């Protein structure tokens, strides 16, 4: 349809090799990009100059800081990446012309907000073991969405797009702890390692349990939030 034609007319396709930046914190914003294949890591540079992984974007997902003049974080290719970028100005003009598109993008952003809130919640509360399991689970699922594997299968195999150090950073742990917990998951049979980066999950259900189970600090710990019926 018309919108898609207009969209593709301003799109610029780029192939970006692994470990190269797509854009950097503070760059003039490119507005928006669609990831066709590969995995992108989002990196935030704090005021002290440290770099921290704050997110992953899998194909066929989207990427970008709509409306902002400059990017608030960096994006780098975790694997070789194939993306379409849309120049900010032209893209914003399109959005004004097609409210449907803007609305769609809006809903997408709201969803992203939900996911981020969920992640925050989990970082604040789960043990290191559960966190590592959770991240592996999420990556497993998103890899499946990206194609390749049948979704209904109860097993999965994927390549980790991050180093142990980056995993640790993403999870708010140290790389040693991540390594230990991965080993622990392996020895409990919840995962297998073909190589350090190549993970096999024989039973996704079991991993999902490990991701949130463990009494640790359950219902007993939930803050009693005083509030009456509305």
171 in Cβ contact with 135 (< 8 Å): yes
Please, which residue, 152 or 221, has the CB nearer to DNA?
221
The residues in 42-101 that bind DNA, with binding defined as CB under 7 A, are: none
The count of residues interacting with a copy of itself (CB under 8 A) is 72
User: What are phi and psi for residue 90, nearest 5 degrees?
Assistant: -60, -40
Site string for DNA, 153-182 (x = CB under 7 A): ----------xxx------xxxxxxxxx-x
Torsion 53-190-37-118 (CA) sign: negative
> Which residues in 46-142 belong to E strands, given as ranges?
51-58, 62-63, 74-77, 81-86
Interface region with DNA, contact rule CB under 7 A, candidates 36-44, 52-60, 98-106, 125-133 = 125-133
How would you class 14 by CB atoms within 10 Å of its CB: exposed for 0-12, middle for 13-18, buried for 19 or more? middle
Question: Is residue 15 involved in binding a copy of itself (CB under 8 A)?
Answer: no
Question: Is residue 65 involved in binding a copy of itself (CB under 8 A)?
Answer: yes
Report the side by side order of strands in the sheet with 39-45: 51-58, 39-45, 74-77
Question: Is residue 208 involved in binding a copy of itself (CB under 8 A)?
Answer: no
Site string for a copy of itself, 107-136 (x = CB under 8 A): x-xx-xxx-xx-xxx-xxx-----------
Residue 139 CB-half CA count within 13 A: 26
The residues in 189-218 that bind DNA, with binding defined as CB under 7 A, are: 193, 195-197, 216-217
Residues contributing to the site for DNA (CB under 7 A): 127-129, 163-165, 172-180, 182-183, 193, 195-197, 216-217, 221, 224, 226
């Amino acid at each position: 349809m018309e919108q898609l034609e207009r969209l593709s007319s301003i799109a610029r396709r780029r192939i970006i090799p692994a470990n190269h930046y797509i854009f950097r914190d503070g760059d003039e914003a490119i507005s928006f990009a669609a990831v066709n294949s590969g995995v992108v890591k989002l990196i935030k540079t704090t005021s002290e100059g440290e770099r921290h992984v704050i997110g992953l974007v899998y194909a066929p997902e989207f990427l970008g800081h709509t409306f902002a003049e400059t990017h608030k974080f960096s994006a780098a290719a975790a694997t070789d990446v194939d993306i379409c970028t849309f120049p900010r100005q032209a893209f914003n003009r399109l959005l004004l012309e097609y409210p449907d598109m803007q609305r769609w993008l809006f809903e997408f952003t709201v969803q992203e907000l939900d996911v981020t809130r969920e992640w925050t919640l989990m970082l604040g509360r789960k043990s290191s073991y559960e966190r590592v399991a959770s991240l592996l689970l999420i990556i497993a699922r998103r890899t499946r969405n990206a194609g390749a594997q049948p979704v209904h299968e109860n097993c999965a195999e994927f390549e980790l797009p991050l180093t142990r150090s980056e995993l640790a950073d993403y999870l708010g742990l140290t790389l040693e702890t991540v390594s230990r917990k991965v080993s622990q998951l392996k020895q409990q049979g919840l995962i297998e390692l073909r190589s350090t980066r190549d993970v096999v999950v024989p039973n996704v259900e079991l991993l999902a349990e490990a991701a949130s189970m463990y009494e640790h600090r359950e219902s007993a710990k939930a803050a009693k939030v005083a509030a009456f019926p509305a």
